[in-house]
Amino acid sequence: MQVETVSLKALNEGPASAFVERLGGVFEHAPWVADRVAPRRPFASLADLFHGMREAVEGATPEEALALLRGHPELTFAGAMTRDSVGEQAAAGLDRLSDAQRTRFAEFNKAYRERFGFPFILCVRRHGRDSILREFERRLILPADQERETALKEVLRIAALRLDQRVSGPDRLPVSGRLSTHVLDTAAGRPAEGVEIELVEIASDGAHSVARAATNADGRTDGPLIMDRPLPIAQYELRFHVGAYHRRQGIPLADPAFLDVVPIRFAVAEPEGHYHVPLLVTPWSYSTYRGS
Amino acid sequence: MQVETVSLKALNEGPASAFVERLGGVFEHAPWVADRVAPRRPFASLADLFHGMREAVEGATPEEALALLRGHPELTFAGAMTRDSVGEQAAAGLDRLSDAQRTRFAEFNKAYRERFGFPFILCVRRHGRDSILREFERRLILPADQERETALKEVLRIAALRLDQRVSGPDRLPVSGRLSTHVLDTAAGRPAEGVEIELVEIASDGAHSVARAATNADGRTDGPLIMDRPLPIAQYELRFHVGAYHRRQGIPLADPAFLDVVPIRFAVAEPEGHYHVPLLVTPWSYSTYRGS
Amino acid sequence: MQVETVSLKALNEGPASAFVERLGGVFEHAPWVADRVAPRRPFASLADLFHGMREAVEGATPEEALALLRGHPELTFAGAMTRDSVGEQAAAGLDRLSDAQRTRFAEFNKAYRERFGFPFILCVRRHGRDSILREFERRLILPADQERETALKEVLRIAALRLDQRVSGPDRLPVSGRLSTHVLDTAAGRPAEGVEIELVEIASDGAHSVARAATNADGRTDGPLIMDRPLPIAQYELRFHVGAYHRRQGIPLADPAFLDVVPIRFAVAEPEGHYHVPLLVTPWSYSTYRGS
Amino acid sequence: MQVETVSLKALNEGPASAFVERLGGVFEHAPWVADRVAPRRPFASLADLFHGMREAVEGATPEEALALLRGHPELTFAGAMTRDSVGEQAAAGLDRLSDAQRTRFAEFNKAYRERFGFPFILCVRRHGRDSILREFERRLILPADQERETALKEVLRIAALRLDQRVSGPDRLPVSGRLSTHVLDTAAGRPAEGVEIELVEIASDGAHSVARAATNADGRTDGPLIMDRPLPIAQYELRFHVGAYHRRQGIPLADPAFLDVVPIRFAVAEPEGHYHVPLLVTPWSYSTYRGS
């Protein structure tokens, strides 16, 4: 879902029509939001621009608001979707659902739309596989008022992410999280270099690979394992291949080695948070913790 | 494979015929071993008795030794096996092989017998699923002399285990290992009570449940997770249900909790060793190590 | 303060006079307590016997209770003390006070007696150097009623300890604590043997040696560092000589070694508790925690 | 010992006389070194400039080299010293020696000069109190050839530090170390803010305060505890006031708290290294390690 980026400066200085053309899609099938904020230019920062859009949405008539919600596609691929939605749902793995899962989603969608009169809207980039279903279950039984508010909040989260991708400028929106790690060889008192690491999402339908990396001379991966996007709410496992590392150090190990692949299982609850999950390791012990 | 136990005292004091009847099966299809040690009674301890049997085997003629090796069943269920062998192979999961695995075993057995002239003998109670195959691969390429020695060593290991099960007395044989754990709540400074723990064997064909327990007021399980038998050489995972524990303590957790089920993956290399694998845990960190 | 021990059985079966003779000193200058409980013999356990004595004290007239409090010596060596009190105060280091400290104690004692009409009573074996002074300060400002109760509670604590030393029998009184340690070499995955350990009390007037020991093959000291007596409320430091240990293992170390003597500083707040304070150590890292 | 800094560029572009004037003191009483390298200007970096100076020293005649060594002051304040030497020795605490220590130094100096024919030269900024004496003892018994080399190496270390202080430019000399820390509250899963930390040097004559700081919102001190200078070879103690921190978090603690001031004792062996010594702490446990 690569979208061309434009600078806030260009949007501020260009004609209103260009502004609306570039930002009309930030709210799904609702270019009127961009239309209403265009006269409020120039914006000093992305935060200001988003604030203006949020006010436009909150100031909409009930009919407009309902139409905004109804303009969103269902969380399947049955309906017509905008290019943004296709990309977002693909990123969440929704294009790789099993038949049973598709059926389950279809039933949820139907029940939800019958109950609330608009499709289930979720900023899917903030959720892992299991979390999407849990949200469905949780929200399907909320009172209508409260659920409408929840849906609108998700619409704004989707818009913030789209804005962050489309426009560069000062004061970026806090839409991204970060997942990083660090491996220390506490028997040798130095960073563990060359440790292979896999990050997998642990879902009810199995483990799904998310990233792979190896530690550098400082015991860190060259960049965070996840960055510049939300961390999907999910269970993860970091798998550290410490057996191979220790063998390369020439350390005599048991056969099989007491520790070979060390799995650290943890959950992300704040998609915009920083999760630093280090490993302090010897051939016979290890520690981990949420660091900073 | 429950075998009735007899005391060493009774064997020492009874007739030679009773001694041979009870211990004739310690060496597979080779009651002559018991026969030869009977006149050396009384034995002061199990260690002494086993020492005598070992000497009888080591003093056998080359023909007897070869016959002893040939008397063992193959590691499948194709051939006729003694009651002991049936039980031992069942304990190793050999009665639950997939068709592909059975075929693999059959091929190995055939290649092995052609090469060495006797069946592949392994004290299977000392090995997990994957380890048995690795031993096959490792030993199939050994020089004949060395492999014959290896096979005899395994015969003696099988015999020691059978003796340990059949006879009670002073100086037990060191045929058993022990796997224990301990959970400390290092945020509260006290043992973690009521933590559910599963022990699973991690094999190439999946995870197989070995034991389940919960911690008591001292943070320990009421008994070791494995005891009174060898620890099979294998990869294991201890899974500690700390999320549920922390929730019961009324500690506010993230949703989902950062730590829910903590998996500690380790391998056993010494079946007769003591593996103490504790967990020091808070809602946001943990440590483990091979303890004592 | 070694006192000859007598069995509860002997006290139960002997004459009342012998009972009073042996236990008359359990309450300072108040043999009447033993006198009153003698007719209630036989006692099934030490707990029962102490329970009887406690009831006798609680059932005393206000005059008797006040006399009981007044019968205790001051926490100096100015007055006449019973043999028990001399021993107890010596154990607390009160016979090694500096002149300034003696003066301070004298002033406190004077102020206390003027305010409450009886001497300051404290079960000194439950307190370290600094804790005694803190108790003085804390109690000197309590309301008279509350302080009298506090004083009586201390009288009973002193009595329980004296009883525990004088009489053997079932159901020992819970007057003792335990301080133990354990050193694990988490780089080698085994207990650290031969680590020298000092236990010192850290007081405002300096560090005072309490015990010394070395770890055995299991990484533990042969017995607890403190046992069979209360753990004085105080700050302590366990000093582990890990540099020498690592050098003996032939491990190449920096010069000077990153870790030489590892000090673990902690406080005891429950004199009757079990404090297990282990050390998990490599040449470059360590952990400690209150264990069990 | 604040020295005015000049840029390498200015030294490259100015007259040779200015170069010699500014850098004549880099080698004690040996402006001829600067004199000889001046014609080799311009230098691309500080490393290049130092390399040139080192070559000049190594190319000196034996008489010049001996004179260079003899030009250094003794490690006391008896003799005439250059302004640099006064500052360097003061930084090492040599101006605060006790009478006994002064006498000891004087004896060492005398023995050394008699044996080798030049004064004992040590880059004192790389050493703590005890380490200076140990170096004296260690070097006094070296063969003359080896000790002359050692002395020359120290001369170059002193020169590198002086150059680093006098000249700014690309490719700084690796003369500085760094000591940093980090405190994580592993019970709460976040950095520990507001923890007061003292760094003290632990010497045979007592503990000497080196630095004080408190942790910020990220659990770190605002800058490293030592930076921009060598870390003196010595034993240190970092003292973390975690009891006060935990009380501020409103966590119920024992009285006295199990952990109040946590001392981490470690030694620096590489003055130009980076020592990161973090603390992972709960009210009942902690860990530390040499990190990165």
**Residues in B touching C218 (Cβ below 8 Å):** 292
- Secondary structure of chain D as H, E, C letters: CCCCCEEHHHHHHCCHHHHHHHHHHHCCCCCHHHHHHHHHCCCCCHHHHHHHHHHHHHCCCHHHHHHHHHCCCCCCCCCCCCHHHHHHHHHCCHHHCCHHHHHHHHHHHHHHHHHHCCCCCCCHHHECHHHHHHHHHHHHCCCHHHHHHHHHHHHHHHHHHHHHHHEECCCCCCCCEEEECEEEECCCCEECCCCEEEEEEEECCEEEEEEEEECCCCCECCCCCEEEECCCEEEEEEEEEHHHHHHHCCCCCCCCCCCCEEEEEEEECCCCCEEECCEEEECCEEEEECEC
To the nearest whole Å, the CA of C86 is away from the closest chain B CA by 37
**Residues in B touching A267 (Cβ below 8 Å):** 254, 256-260
pLDDT in tens, A153-167: 999 999 999 999 999
Q: What is the pLDDT of residue D76?
A: 64
Which 8-state DSSP code applies to residue A232? Answer: P
Q: What is the pLDDT of residue D104?
A: 83
Q: Does residue D203 carry a pLDDT above 50? A: yes
Nearest CB to C289 within list B184, B218, B291? B184
pLDDT band at D99 (very low <50, low <70, confident <90, very high): confident
Which of C95-99, D204-208, D267-271 tops mean pLDDT?
D267-271
Cβ D225 vs Cβ D264: under 8 Å? no
Q: Does residue D289 carry a pLDDT above 80? A: yes
Q: What is the pLDDT of residue B94?
A: 66
Q: Give, for B287, the enclosing helix (H) or strand (E).
A: strand B285-289
The mean pLDDT value for B202-230 works out to 95
Contact between chains at A284 and C186 (C-beta distance less than 8 A) = yes
Q: What is the pLDDT of residue C290?
A: 97
Neighbours of C263 (CB within 10 A): 17
What angle (nearest 5°) sits at the alpha carbon of residue D247, between those of residues C132 and D259?
60
Q: What is the pLDDT of residue C79?
A: 40
Nearest to C5 by CA among C166, C225, C142, C217: C166
Q: What is the pLDDT of residue A79?
A: 40
Q: What backbone phi and psi angles, to 5 degrees, belong to C9?
A: -60, -45
Tokens of D119: 């004064």
**Residues in A touching B133 (Cβ below 8 Å):** none
> D89 versus A198: which is more confidently predicted?
A198
Listed range (B22-31, D127-136, D174-183) with the worst mean pLDDT: D127-136
What are the Cα distances from residue B287, in Å, to A200, A285, B80, B120? Answer: 21, 7, 49, 41
Contact between chains at D291 and A218 (C-beta distance less than 8 A) = no
Among chain B residues, CA nearest to C273: B190
Contact between chains at A285 and C189 (C-beta distance less than 8 A) = yes
Contact between chains at D287 and A292 (C-beta distance less than 8 A) = no
To the nearest whole Å, the CA of C268 is away from the closest chain D CA by 7
How many residue pairs bridge chain B and chain C with CB atoms within 8 Å of each other? 30
The mean pLDDT value for B33-60 works out to 96
Neighbours of C96 (CB within 10 A): 11
Tokens of C122: 């404290």
To the nearest whole Å, the CA of B286 is away from the closest chain D CA by 9
**Residues in C touching A285 (Cβ below 8 Å):** 186, 189, 280
How many residue pairs bridge chain C and chain D with CB atoms within 8 Å of each other? 70
Cβ A82 vs Cβ A28: under 8 Å? yes
Nearest to D257 by CA among D240, D270, D244, D239: D244
Nearest CB to A267 within list B257, B267, B286? B257
pLDDT string in tens for chain A (292-residue length): 456 899 999 999 999 999 999 999 999 999 999 999 999 999 999 999 999 999 999 999 999 999 999 999 887 644 445 666 666 766 666 666 677 777 888 888 999 999 999 999 999 999 998 898 899 999 999 999 999 999 999 999 999 999 999 999 998 999 999 999 999 999 999 999 999 999 999 998 899 999 999 999 999 999 999 999 999 999 999 999 999 999 999 999 999 999 999 999 999 999 999 999 999 999 999 999 999 8
Q: What is the pLDDT of residue B205?
A: 84
Neighbors of chain A with 3 or more C-beta pairs under 8 Å: B, C, D
Cβ A218 vs Cβ A278: under 8 Å? no
Contact between chains at D290 and A189 (C-beta distance less than 8 A) = yes
Tokens of C292: 């069990």
Q: What is the pLDDT of residue B100?
A: 79
Q: What is the pLDDT of residue A77?
A: 41
Q: What backbone phi and psi angles, to 5 degrees, belong to B209?
A: -65, 135
pLDDT string in tens for chain C (292-residue length): 456 899 999 999 999 999 999 999 999 999 999 999 999 999 999 999 999 999 999 999 999 999 999 999 887 644 445 666 666 666 666 666 677 777 888 888 999 999 999 999 999 999 998 898 899 999 999 999 999 999 999 999 999 999 999 999 998 999 999 999 999 999 999 999 999 999 999 998 899 999 999 999 999 999 999 999 999 999 999 999 999 999 999 999 999 999 999 999 999 999 999 999 999 999 999 999 999 8
What are the Cα distances from residue D31, in Å, to A187, B22, B228, D36, D56? Answer: 48, 98, 81, 9, 11
Q: Does residue B106 carry a pLDDT above 90? A: no
Q: Does residue D80 carry a pLDDT above 60? A: no
To the nearest whole Å, the CA of B164 is away from the closest chain D CA by 43
